[in-house]
Structure 1
């Protein structure tokens, strides 16, 4: 699999309540998106970013990171071939991403995702 970016997914009780810490204090001033249950904030100067998540909208478990790839279908096949546990099957979500969740041998759940161009 070719990883193009990794985004940390921080669990928060309320995205809007947590926002000011990440924007005002950390300076992540660009809100790339906010779906209510997930929002990503980015520094326009450095590109540093974080994703805040209350509870994933469609997966049975929350992921600790989102691993972006340009070939999510290939990554899914490879995970299956290697015998890794698929937590959430390969799905094209209503909000426009194609993704699946896989459990790493250490127990962490990763969101493997590709955005539509």
Structure 2
């Protein structure tokens, strides 16, 4: 569900997410929010609502899709790094048309697992 005006339910979860975003906003240690549950339980709708809420508060957000075989932590962190770098680059370019770095992995990333 991409329209927040028609997103209903999950009040408890949304309050918990608002709280965690508020904590991050005051320079406290970051918290990882993980959504899990059975298929068709509304995880993607809650994720979309969380994304909007975070962006409205000025946070940079990224999504990382993990697939079977992504069990090694380095794979996860590489995906987060790549998505975060692309998102920050996009934000900076939208702001003033430039970015102080490239949106691709530096050369040393070639040694990371593919």
TM more than 0.5: no
TM-score between the two structures when normalised by the length of structure 2: 0.29
Q: Which has the higher contact order (CA 8 A, sep 6+)?
A: 1
Determine which structure has the larger helix proportion and give its number.
Answer: 2
Give the TM-score, by structure 1 length: 0.28
| More strand as a share of residues | 1
